[in-house]
Amino acid sequence: MIAATRSVVSVAKSVLYVAFELGKAQWKLAMTSGFTITPVVETMCAGDWAAVDRALADGRQRFKLEGTAPVWSCYEAGRDGFWIHRGLVGRGIHNRVVDSSSIEVNRRARRTKTDRIDALKLVMMLVRVAAGEQRVWSEVRVPSVAAEAARHVSRERQALTTERTRLVNQMRSWLVTAGAPWPRRAARGWWAHVRDWAAQPLATPVQARLARAHARLQLVTEQLAALDAQQHASVAAAGPDSVAHRLLQLKGIAVTSASVLLDEGLVWRQFRNRRQIGGLLGFAPSKYESGDRSRDQGISRAGNQRLQAVMIQLAWGWVRWQPQSALTRWYRARFGQGKRARRVGIVALARKLLVALWRCATHATVPAGAMLKMA
């Protein structure tokens, strides 16, 4: 999810540093040319690229830079996504997208916060990054246009699955309030044949509400089937040497889970090591040490929640379908005693499994002892 920050320019050079504080109606641009230069802030309408170009030209003139001086910019990742990044890069600007949760804040109980203050702070942090300071913030890896669009399929499927569960639970609860059972076979118009606790038909408003909910459920089911067909067709069209097929050849990995892994960035994020993969997934221990006090705060919940959900499912499936693999043997040897220990250990297995799947996807390295599906 995040990338390490490295300096590729010296602050001694003539560079215009710009921080964007993005709003729905307005953008604020904080600009400076170095540590000792007082930043200035300009306000413009959101999405007004002509105003951005004028502000950059005014900034070069104000700080007495050449008209061709390079521009470094940054903004916090948020609701606007990455189209602003692509617009800045298209103008020859070196832009960075910052993970909002990694920005240091004042620890006072009540602090002043405005868009102007945030923009001024962000631009000075950008200067620190350009000077070579490490761990100032974390940066978001920007996906390609195709990779960003592909994520909509798996994310929509997850939303539809949640909606289907919600609708079924709602209809069950309406029947419970009337003392009526859930029908074993939900045939067309089943709500008209259901009887309440007194063996009487359901009230007309209840039947009408059940009919409308059932219609929504049918629509969600049809859309889920269409998305599943689209995912299977996409995998089939990718070819036998594709990354998706490398994952699907492993027993216990299905099309839906493989699609989520790839859409959330198992490959396009271009990880360099297992620590970066663990940073995306999260599930890391949170240790607290201060003076003589030392305690374990449990597992951190930071990370990609969609990836966390699918990896927990894959980890349980891996134990079942890959009993002879090295990962399963390690899990059973360390966490095989007790139900609670198995539940705790499955999180550690999920982290190790994600690293193994990354190596399989990028380097075609099959996890040790893993079984492949029959052709």
Token output for 168: 């079924």
**Residue where a domain terminates, one of 85, 111, 140:** 140
**Domain shared by 23 and 115, yes or no:** yes
Q: What mean pLDDT, rounded, does the chain reach?
A: 90
Does some domain include residue 375? no
**Domain shared by 231 and 252, yes or no:** no
CATH number reported for the structural domain that contains residue 129 in this entry: 3.30.420
Interatomic CA distance for residues 250 and 84, integer angstroms: 39
Q: What is the pLDDT of residues 326-364, one digit of tens each?
A: 999 999 999 988 889 999 899 999 999 999 999 999 998
Q: How many Cα atoms sit within 13 Å of 127 on the Cβ side?
A: 23
Does some domain include residue 370? no
- CB atoms under 10 Å from CB of 375, counted, come to 5
Does some domain include residue 373? no
Residue 59's domain comprises: 2-140
Does some domain include residue 372? no
In which residue ranges of the chain is pLDDT below 70? 1-13, 375
Q: Where are the alpha helices (DSSP H) in 136-180?
A: 145-177
**Domain shared by 210 and 328, yes or no:** no
**Domain shared by 254 and 351, yes or no:** yes
Interatomic CA distance for residues 30 and 18, integer angstroms: 6
**Residue where a domain terminates, one of 95, 123, 140:** 140
- CB atoms under 10 Å from CB of 53, counted, come to 11
**Domain shared by 130 and 151, yes or no:** no
**Domain shared by 10 and 135, yes or no:** yes
Does some domain include residue 369? no
- Give me the number of domains the chain comprises: 3
- Which pLDDT score is estimated for 7? 46
Q: Where are the alpha helices (DSSP H) in 290-363?
A: 305-321, 326-335, 339-363
> Which pTM does this prediction carry?
0.83
- Which pLDDT score is estimated for 5? 47
Does some domain include residue 126? yes
- CB atoms under 10 Å from CB of 318, counted, come to 28
**Domain shared by 71 and 8, yes or no:** yes
Does some domain include residue 61? yes
- Which pLDDT score is estimated for 4? 46
**Domain shared by 119 and 222, yes or no:** no
Q: What is the pLDDT of residues 32-76, one digit of tens each?
A: 999 989 999 999 999 999 999 999 999 999 999 998 899 999 999
**Domain shared by 260 and 352, yes or no:** yes
Query: In three state form, how does the secondary structure of 254-309 look?
Result: CHHHHHHHHHCCCCCCCCCCHHHHHHHHCCCEEEEEECCEEEEEEECCCCCHHHHH
**Domain shared by 107 and 128, yes or no:** yes
Does some domain include residue 11? yes
Helix (H) or strand (E) segment spanning residue 244:
helix 243-248
Interatomic CA distance for residues 29 and 56, integer angstroms: 9
**Domain shared by 35 and 91, yes or no:** yes
Q: Are 129 and 102 in contact (CB under 8 A)?
A: no
**Domain shared by 7 and 135, yes or no:** yes
